[in-house]
Amino acid sequence: MARTTARDAENPDYARGGADAPNPVWFKPVMFGFMLVGLIWIIVYYVSASTLPIASIGPWNIMVGFGIMFIGFLMTTRWR
């Protein structure tokens, strides 16, 4: 049987890992990692004269980079 502390009594969601629980340790590095990888993807596309990272998709590389960054920005809405 688990013990109930004063903090748990005030906020039952904390003990269950609910809405007010803090993020896991990996959350912030992954969030910023997605944003940086997306930015680097776009920079590499522009600097390489459109031959990298994936030459066959051409200008869609910009959308791929923004998509990766968007995942990171979506994660910011869950950051506590």
Q: Is the pTM of this model over 0.75?
A: no
pLDDT tens for 15-65 read 555 667 899 999 999 999 999 999 999 999 999 988 999 999 999 999 999
Three-state SS annotation for the chain:
CCCCCHHHHHCHHHHHCCCCCCCCCCHHHHHHHHHHHHHHHHHHHHHCCCCCCCHHHCCHHHHHHHHHHHHHHHHHCCCC
